[in-house]
Protein backbone atom coordinates (compact mmCIF):
# COMPACT_ATOMS: atom_id res chain seq x y z
CA UNK A 1 0.00 0.00 0.00
CA UNK A 2 2.92 2.33 0.55
CA UNK A 3 5.25 3.66 -2.17
CA UNK A 4 2.63 4.39 -4.77
CA UNK A 5 3.87 6.73 -7.46
CA UNK A 6 1.73 9.54 -6.12
CA UNK A 7 3.23 9.14 -2.69
CA UNK A 8 6.74 9.22 -4.08
CA UNK A 9 5.91 12.28 -6.13
CA UNK A 10 4.47 13.93 -3.08
CA UNK A 11 7.59 13.27 -1.08
CA UNK A 12 9.81 14.57 -3.80
CA UNK A 13 7.65 17.64 -4.07
CA UNK A 14 8.01 18.19 -0.32
CA UNK A 15 11.75 17.88 -0.62
CA UNK A 16 11.88 20.28 -3.53
CA UNK A 17 9.73 22.76 -1.64
CA UNK A 18 12.03 22.69 1.37
CA UNK A 19 15.04 23.14 -0.86
CA UNK A 20 13.37 25.99 -2.69
CA UNK A 21 12.57 27.70 0.59
CA UNK A 22 16.23 27.57 1.60
CA UNK A 23 17.25 29.06 -1.72
CA UNK A 24 14.63 31.79 -1.50
CA UNK A 25 15.81 32.65 2.00
CA UNK A 26 19.40 32.74 0.78
CA UNK A 27 18.44 35.20 -1.96
CA UNK A 28 16.72 37.43 0.58
CA UNK A 29 19.80 37.46 2.74
CA UNK A 30 22.27 38.33 0.00
CA UNK A 31 19.95 41.01 -1.38
CA UNK A 32 19.77 42.51 2.08
CA UNK A 33 23.38 42.33 3.17
CA UNK A 34 25.53 41.31 0.22
CA UNK A 35 26.96 38.02 -0.95
CA UNK A 36 29.54 37.91 1.79
CA UNK A 37 26.89 38.01 4.49
CA UNK A 38 25.48 34.60 3.72
CA UNK A 39 26.25 32.25 6.61
CA UNK A 40 24.79 28.80 7.08
CA UNK A 41 23.78 29.53 10.66
CA UNK A 42 21.76 32.59 9.71
CA UNK A 43 20.37 30.89 6.65
CA UNK A 44 19.14 27.98 8.75
CA UNK A 45 17.64 30.24 11.39
CA UNK A 46 15.90 32.47 8.87
CA UNK A 47 14.46 29.43 7.11
CA UNK A 48 13.24 27.97 10.39
CA UNK A 49 15.54 24.95 10.57
CA UNK A 50 18.94 24.14 12.05
CA UNK A 51 22.34 24.06 10.44
CA UNK A 52 22.63 20.30 9.91
CA UNK A 53 19.30 20.33 8.11
CA UNK A 54 20.80 22.60 5.47
CA UNK A 55 23.29 19.84 4.76
CA UNK A 56 20.43 17.49 3.99
CA UNK A 57 19.78 19.62 0.90
CA UNK A 58 23.18 21.00 -0.02
CA UNK A 59 26.58 19.38 0.23
CA UNK A 60 28.35 22.58 1.15
CA UNK A 61 28.05 26.32 1.20
CA UNK A 62 29.46 26.54 -2.29
CA UNK A 63 26.78 24.13 -3.46
CA UNK A 64 24.26 26.74 -2.35
CA UNK A 65 26.08 29.41 -4.32
CA UNK A 66 26.15 27.09 -7.30
CA UNK A 67 22.39 26.58 -7.15
CA UNK A 68 21.94 30.33 -6.86
CA UNK A 69 24.26 30.88 -9.80
CA UNK A 70 22.16 28.46 -11.84
CA UNK A 71 18.96 30.30 -10.99
CA UNK A 72 20.56 33.63 -11.83
CA UNK A 73 21.91 32.36 -15.14
CA UNK A 74 18.51 30.93 -16.02
CA UNK A 75 16.82 34.23 -15.21
CA UNK A 76 19.40 36.03 -17.35
CA UNK A 77 18.76 33.69 -20.25
CA UNK A 78 15.03 34.33 -19.96
CA UNK A 79 15.52 38.06 -20.37
CA UNK A 80 17.15 37.32 -23.72
CA UNK A 81 14.47 34.94 -24.92
CA UNK A 82 11.78 37.31 -26.10
CA UNK A 83 13.55 40.45 -27.22
CA UNK A 84 11.46 42.51 -29.65
CA UNK A 85 11.88 42.34 -33.38
CA UNK A 86 10.48 45.61 -34.62
CA UNK A 87 11.61 47.12 -37.87
CA UNK A 88 13.87 49.61 -36.14
CA UNK A 89 17.36 48.51 -35.13
CA UNK A 90 17.51 51.48 -32.79
CA UNK A 91 14.32 50.48 -30.98
CA UNK A 92 15.46 46.89 -30.76
CA UNK A 93 18.84 47.76 -29.31
CA UNK A 94 17.38 50.22 -26.84
CA UNK A 95 15.09 47.46 -25.61
CA UNK A 96 18.05 45.13 -25.38
CA UNK A 97 20.16 47.51 -23.32
CA UNK A 98 17.20 48.53 -21.17
CA UNK A 99 16.50 44.95 -20.28
CA UNK A 100 20.13 44.24 -19.53
CA UNK A 101 20.46 47.26 -17.28
CA UNK A 102 17.16 46.52 -15.57
CA UNK A 103 18.20 42.93 -14.96
CA UNK A 104 21.46 44.00 -13.34
CA UNK A 105 20.32 46.98 -11.30
CA UNK A 106 17.16 45.33 -9.98
CA UNK A 107 19.22 42.75 -8.08
CA UNK A 108 22.77 43.80 -7.44
CA UNK A 109 23.72 40.65 -5.53
CA UNK A 110 22.56 38.53 -8.44
CA UNK A 111 24.55 40.70 -10.84
CA UNK A 112 27.69 40.36 -8.73
CA UNK A 113 27.29 36.61 -8.38
CA UNK A 114 26.84 36.16 -12.13
CA UNK A 115 29.38 38.60 -13.50
CA UNK A 116 31.86 39.63 -10.88
CA UNK A 117 32.77 36.41 -8.98
CA UNK A 118 33.40 38.02 -5.61
CA UNK A 119 33.34 34.76 -3.65
CA UNK A 120 36.80 33.33 -3.07
CA UNK A 121 36.98 29.65 -3.81
CA UNK A 122 33.71 29.46 -5.68
CA UNK A 123 33.53 28.51 -9.34
CA UNK A 124 30.18 27.68 -10.89
CA UNK A 125 29.67 24.18 -12.24
CA UNK A 126 29.29 23.64 -15.97
CA UNK A 127 25.59 22.90 -15.55
CA UNK A 128 24.94 26.14 -13.72
CA UNK A 129 27.02 28.09 -16.18
CA UNK A 130 25.39 26.80 -19.33
CA UNK A 131 22.41 29.17 -19.43
CA UNK A 132 24.75 32.15 -19.12
CA UNK A 133 26.72 31.03 -22.16
CA UNK A 134 23.49 30.54 -24.07
CA UNK A 135 22.35 34.04 -23.15
CA UNK A 136 25.62 35.65 -24.22
CA UNK A 137 25.52 33.80 -27.54
CA UNK A 138 22.01 35.01 -28.05
CA UNK A 139 23.05 38.58 -27.31
CA UNK A 140 25.81 38.36 -29.91
CA UNK A 141 23.35 37.06 -32.45
CA UNK A 142 20.79 39.72 -31.60
CA UNK A 143 23.37 42.45 -32.09
CA UNK A 144 24.31 40.98 -35.48
CA UNK A 145 20.67 40.78 -36.50
CA UNK A 146 20.44 44.49 -35.78
CA UNK A 147 23.45 45.45 -37.81
CA UNK A 148 26.23 45.24 -35.23
CA UNK A 149 28.73 42.48 -35.91
CA UNK A 150 32.36 41.64 -35.47
CA UNK A 151 34.12 40.88 -32.19
CA UNK A 152 35.47 44.38 -31.83
CA UNK A 153 32.06 45.98 -32.07
CA UNK A 154 30.55 43.44 -29.72
CA UNK A 155 33.28 44.14 -27.19
CA UNK A 156 32.54 47.82 -27.49
CA UNK A 157 28.86 47.24 -26.77
CA UNK A 158 29.51 45.05 -23.77
CA UNK A 159 32.02 47.53 -22.35
CA UNK A 160 29.70 50.50 -22.68
CA UNK A 161 26.60 48.79 -21.35
CA UNK A 162 28.57 47.27 -18.47
CA UNK A 163 29.88 50.72 -17.67
CA UNK A 164 26.36 52.09 -17.45
CA UNK A 165 25.39 49.34 -15.03
CA UNK A 166 28.54 49.73 -12.99
CA UNK A 167 28.20 53.47 -12.52
CA UNK A 168 24.50 53.26 -11.82
CA UNK A 169 25.02 50.67 -9.11
CA UNK A 170 28.09 52.25 -7.56
CA UNK A 171 27.22 55.92 -7.64
CA UNK A 172 23.45 56.26 -7.82
CA UNK A 173 21.82 53.09 -6.50
CA UNK A 174 18.07 53.18 -6.97
CA UNK A 175 18.27 56.28 -9.16
CA UNK A 176 18.37 56.82 -12.90
CA UNK A 177 21.41 59.05 -13.36
CA UNK A 178 22.96 56.60 -15.83
CA UNK A 179 19.99 54.53 -16.97
CA UNK A 180 18.46 57.65 -18.47
CA UNK A 181 21.46 57.84 -20.80
CA UNK A 182 20.51 54.60 -22.51
CA UNK A 183 18.92 56.06 -25.64
CA UNK A 184 21.80 58.47 -26.05
CA UNK A 185 24.29 55.68 -25.67
CA UNK A 186 22.57 53.44 -28.19
CA UNK A 187 22.48 56.28 -30.71
CA UNK A 188 26.16 56.89 -30.18
CA UNK A 189 27.11 53.21 -30.43
CA UNK A 190 24.94 52.63 -33.48
CA UNK A 191 26.53 55.53 -35.30
CA UNK A 192 29.97 54.03 -34.72
CA UNK A 193 29.40 50.29 -34.97
CA UNK A 194 26.53 49.72 -37.36
CA UNK A 195 27.33 47.74 -40.51
CA UNK A 196 25.13 50.17 -42.40
CA UNK A 197 24.65 53.81 -41.53
CA UNK A 198 21.28 54.50 -39.87
CA UNK A 199 18.50 55.38 -42.23
Partner DNA sequence: GTCTATAGCTGGATAGAC
Partner DNA sequence: GTCTATCCAGCTATAGAC
CA 176, 70, 67, 159 dihedral sign is negative
End-to-end CA gap in the chain? 72
Helices (H), 82-194: 89-105, 108-115, 126-145, 151-171, 182-193
Contact by Cβ (8 Å): 26, 40 = no
- Binding range to DNA, per CB under 7 A, among 34-42, 102-110, 143-151, 155-163: 34-42
CA angle 116, 62, 42 (to 5 degrees): 100
Distance from C-alpha of 123 to C-alpha of 129, rounded to nearest angstrom? 9
User: 118: how many CB neighbours lie within 10 A of its CB?
Assistant: 12
- Per CB under 7 A, 38 contacts DNA: yes
178 binds, among DNA, a copy of itself, none (CB under 5 to 8 A by kind): a copy of itself
Query: Could you tell me how far CA 125 lies from the centroid of its own chain?
Result: 15
Which partner, a copy of itself, DNA, none, binds residue 55 by CB below 5 to 8 Å per kind? DNA
Which CB atom, from 2 or from 196, has the smaller least distance to a copy of itself? 196
- Give the whole-angstrom CA distance, residue 103 versus residue 44: 28
Distance, in Å, from the CA atom of 76 to the CA atom of 63, rounded to the nearest integer, reads 20
Stretch that binds DNA, among 59-67, 99-107, 137-145, 182-190 (CB under 7 A): 59-67
Tell the smallest beta-carbon distance from residue 169 to a copy of itself (Å).
Answer: 10
Stretch that binds DNA, among 26-34, 45-53, 159-167, 176-184 (CB under 7 A): 45-53
Site string for a copy of itself, 159-198 (x = CB under 8 A): xxxxxx-xx--x------xx--x--xx-xxx-xx------
> According to the binding rule CB under 7 A, does residue 15 interact with DNA?
yes
Query: Applying CB under 8 A, which residues contact a copy of itself?
Result: 34, 36-37, 115-118, 120, 152, 155-156, 158-164, 166-167, 170, 177-178, 181, 184-185, 187-189, 191-192
Query: Applying CB under 7 A, which residues contact DNA?
Result: 11, 15, 18, 38-42, 48-53, 55-57, 60-62
Amino acid sequence: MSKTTTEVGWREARREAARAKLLATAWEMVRENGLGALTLRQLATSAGVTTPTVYAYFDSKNAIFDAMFGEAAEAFAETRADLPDSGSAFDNLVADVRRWVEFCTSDVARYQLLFQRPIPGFEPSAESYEPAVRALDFTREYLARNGVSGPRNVDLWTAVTTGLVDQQISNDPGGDRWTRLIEDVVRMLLAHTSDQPPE
